[in-house]
Structure 1
Amino acid sequence: MRAALLGLGIVVIAACGGGNNDNDNNHQGSGGKSTGGASSGGASSGGTSSGGTGGATGGTGGATGGSSGMDAGTDASAGSGGMAGSGGVAGADAGCLPWTGLPTHVPTWNKSFGTPLSDRAYAVVTDSSGNAFVAGVTDGTLGATSYGGSDAYVRKVSPSANELWTHQFGSTSGGNEDAYGIAMDWSGNVLVGGITAKGLTGASQGKFDGYVRKLTDGATAPTVAWTHQFGTSEDDYVLSVAADKYDNVYATGRTLGWLGDDDAGANAGSSDAYVRKLDGIGGVQWTHQFGTSAADQGYSVATDLIGSAYVTGYTEGDLAAPNAGGWDGFVSKVSPAGNELWTRQFGTAGADAGFGIVADVLGNVYVGGYVSGQVGCSSGGGADGFVRKYDSDGNELWTYQFGGPDFEQVLAITIGKGKVYAAGVRYDATTNLDSFVLALTTDGAPLWMQVLQNTAGKEYAQGVFPDLSGNVFVVGYEGTLNANQALIAKLAP
């Protein structure tokens, strides 16, 4: 169900992911699917970075300062098309990252959890004490009660990997509920977003409605503060959530109907992307819906310190520039009042998408996803993972592209202690499907890469997030597409 839900094929199952500054990473969250988050890290300047460090098999890729002709867009202030490959300095091709060319970073601990049925973790966020909060879906009983079908859940895990509580929820009529995105507001409340088929606060308006739920943490269980369910007569999904410093809440995803503020508005065609802003008690402030006559989807949302929202995803149309072919990725900045400030569209002749986004304290934006051709360095073949940095005005500062002959995808991204962390999946004929975590400097130089392999089966990393000490938590699931255990790993700084 979940692969078909997002139209992502075998690997990408839910989208959203992020972080905020070193002290505020939790406000944007991670995961989504793929994952949402707040901004983190410190200030960093734009420009180019060198080709990275040499590896045993021939060196690692570096970031380029701008990719010629691969990135174009619109600016609301100018009312015209943006500049292709604007921002940064054109950098030389530094080569793509060989998987054996970087130092490894062995996890402090790495564990799975679940029921005899299927369980998945999609997103993670941390609090000031280093506890992790994991969002996902279970077909069994992780908490006190199963509501039938698949249920959403939030699990609190201690810094030493012990379960503190699990909040499992669903509709009493036994439909399917999923939790794709998670974040924490500045007051320490947990925010979770996803989909419901039968309704959490009433009957679903379509096949699926989106929802955002606010939880107040407790010693042995959380308290539900409110649940905001919304939708149209069509299908509507929440794939990522974030919060700003005023405890406003943001959600993104896709809708086949019309969620916008103008009652006379209409869907642009197929699915549209959207950003919805709620206040701290769940009231709707505005909804910014956008798209083309083809399919469009928001995967991840993040916020900056002034309350601007950033969303990344994919478009099959001409959202901000002529489509390069198939899916193109996009990044869009929305003002605190809900107005589009700029949008950047990027892509190749194949399929390309942004799956995770995060903003730092200066409003720089980091995006992760995958591309089917060259956007930063020479393509490794198949689908390559990438991380791209924009400044607050939408100028591209650098792009780091990496991969081998098969495929790699960044599904979540975050920032912490001056580092950028990208998590995702890689596939090759030898190791099958594995999860990875890649660490970069904020200037785009690679630091280390760790493959996570719990079993001989498949592993899918879906969310990544740091704590205040710089430890990094990664969540996902392992097994097969239909029978899984959720997983969580902690890596030291």
Structure 2
Amino acid sequence: MRIIFKIINVVCALLTFAGVSLAGGKQEMWSRSYPLEGANSEIGGDIKVDSIKNSLYITGLKCVKEGVNIRGLVAVRKIDLEGKELWKQVCDIGVYGLDQTGCIAVDNKNNVYIAGFRYIEGKGKNLWSRKYDLKGNIIWDNTYENLYDSKDAEFKELACDAKGNIYAVGYKNTEELKRDQWLRKYDPDGQELWKVIFSGSGSKLEKEQGLAVDPEGNAFVAIYENGENSEYLLKINKYDVNGSILISKQYRDSREKNRSVNKIAVDNAGNIYITGTESVFYQGNNVFVRKFDAKGLELWTKSYPNFGYQQYTGSNIIIDNGMNVYVSATSGGGKDEKKYSWISKLDKDGNELWTTDYSGYSYGVKFAVREDGAFYVLGTETDKNNNSNLWVRKYIQYSEK
């Protein structure tokens, strides 16, 4: 059986290299769990493939009970392609650090960057970032205290360019109970090179943002505002390596389908993709995927309706070399206590190829896709003692042609 799986892997790699779409199906190869000792729990954050495609990095939020309080610890693991843990590092982000699992990026030298916030008593949420080398050694750790006069601030997404520079998006709360969002670029030593601030025009900028960086170092940012009459205004901006604006587009949907954006991706041809949430009457929150050309012209929109009143959120989007689109969604549940999650694959024209459901008493899923078509899914499971642990599963894809 192992020999058969190896043969399938080789065939899939050849088909992908030749530009053939792997539209037939998928096969689960293995599943690994990472349980913690005692009554502690951990929630999955994100998963990335390294630059030479021979290992994976995953983040999680470890929750440790301290009397009546619960302390949040951001954990980073490096695992090999068979799921074996190679190293693990943990960072204390404070007693109130329970709503972040850390955003993560990997550069072309396999250095690992993680960022979010660190809670400091009397100073709120402060921007925080850390860099590890490929062996898990800390290169630098930065906490930016009182950067915003004790107003909460947080990194939301990270990405690296080919030169090892780091791009980050995030937000700060303002005096007027609104938010400012920003895009920052840092050098490999963590020194800020430039920043761009997005301020809401009389509206409220939401926390969620999407960030992607293309091979030339251009940065793509997706944000949205909760504007007048409860309408959402989507914005997509493209910046060059110096922070100058190249493209700025705004998209307003009807009130019947208020759309918010969570993630953005770019393919090798410069096409832009976003995923997020649309609010539909009598359906709860659905997930949508939208594709734009390189100039920001809308090409197609794919919606995933649900009729169980689940509050779905688009949680991840990746484009492979064949311009196939992978998207994941998660929901806190509807009328029951279950968690609902799924991953779906679309072709370049928005046609659904397959969808895999991970619903149950589990948290949302993230995933990473390799060039050979194999993909790895990160999720969270709840055991019989109601503790949460991380799991990772590997899938290969095959063609019916």
- SS of 1:492's equivalent? strand
Residue number among 224, 233, 242 corresponding to 1:314 in the alignment: 224
Percentage identity across paired residues of the two chains: 22
Equivalent residue for 1:476? Answer: 379
8 Å Cα contact 1:130/1:467 also seen in 2: no
The alpha carbon displacement at 1:434 in A equals 2.1
1:252 deviates by: 0.9
Distance change >3 Å, CA 380–CA 439, structure 1 → 2: farther
* Corresponding residue pairs, total: 357
* 2:63 paired residue number: 139
Cα separation, partners in 2 of 1:205 and 1:183, compared to 1, 3 Å: farther
Contact 1:368/1:385 (8 A) holds in 2: yes
Matched, 1:109 2:30: yes
> Does residue 116 of structure 2 align to residue 194 of structure 1?
yes
**2:327 paired with 1:411:** no
| Shift in Å, 1:179 | 3.8
Structure 2 SS opposite 1:107: strand
Code of the aligned partner of 2:164: D
SS of aligned partner of 2:28:
coil
> In the alignment, what sits opposite 1:447?
353
Assess if the C-alpha contact under 8 Å between 2:380 and 2:390 holds in 1.
yes
In the alignment, residue 330 of structure 2 is paired with which amino acid? Answer: V
Q: Which runs of 5+ in 1 are unaligned?
A: 1-40, 45-101, 142-147, 199-203, 258-266, 318-322, 374-378
- Indicate if the aligned counterparts of 2:362 and 2:379 stay in contact, CA closer than 8 A: no
Distance in 2 between residues matched to 1:113 and 1:338, nearest whole Å: 40
TM score, norm. by length of structure 1: 0.66
Structure 1 residue 269: Cα displacement: 6.3
Deviation at 1:157, TM superposition (A): 1.6
Structure with the bigger percentage of strand: 2
Q: 1:142-157 alignment to 2 at 5 Å?
A: 149-157=71-79
Is residue 470–residue 492 contact of structure 1 (8 Å, CA) maintained in 2? yes
2:29 corresponds to 1:123? no
CA contact (8 A) 1:301 1:312 kept: yes
Structure showing greater relative contact order (alpha-carbon pairs closer than 8 Å, 6 or more residues apart): 1
Q: CA deviation at 1:124?
A: 0.9
Correspondence for 2:296: 394
Out of 338, 344, 354, the residue aligned to residue 438 of structure 1 is: 344
For residues 351 and 479 of structure 1, the distance between their equivalents in structure 2, rounded to whole angstroms, comes to 33
CA–CA distance in structure 2, aligned partners of residues 351 and 229 of structure 1: 36
Distance in 1 separating the partners of 2:231 and 2:26: 36
Distance 1:435 1:326 in 2: 27
Where does 1:316-395 land on structure 2 (aligned, <5 Å)?
Answer: 316-317=226-227, 325-340=230-245, 341-349=247-255, 351-373=258-280, 381-395=283-297
Q: Displacement of 1:411 after TM fit?
A: 1.0
Q: Could you say which residue in structure 1 is the equivalent of 2:138? A: 224
Seen in structure 2, the aligned counterparts of structure 1 residues 179 and 278 have a Cα distance that, compared at 3 Å, is farther
CA contact (8 A) 1:149 1:176 kept: yes
1:467 aligns with 2:370: yes
Deviations 1:375-405 (A, max 9, x none): xxxx883221111111222111211111221
RMSD, aligned CA: 3.1
Is contact 2:380-2:391 (8 Å) kept?
yes
Distance, in Å, in 2 between the alignment partners of 1:306 and 1:315 is 29
Question: Which amino acid is the alignment partner of residue 413 of structure 1?
Answer: I
Q: Residue 489 of structure 1 is aligned with which of 382, 393, 399?
A: 393
Structure 1 residue 343: deviation in Å?
Answer: 3.0
- Work out the CA distance in 2 between the residues paired with 1:186 and 1:380: 46
User: Is the alpha carbon distance of 1:459 and 1:139 closer, same or farther for their aligned partners in structure 2, counting shifts above 3 Å?
Assistant: closer
Asked if the contact 1:193/1:238 (under 8 Å) is kept, the reply is yes
In terms of mean alpha carbon deviation, does 119-128 or 336-345 score higher?
336-345
Distance in 1 (CA, whole Å) between partners of 2:252 and 2:193 is 30
- Structure 1 pair 430–176 and aligned structure 2 pair: CA distance change class (3 A): closer
* Structure 2 match to 1:280: 188
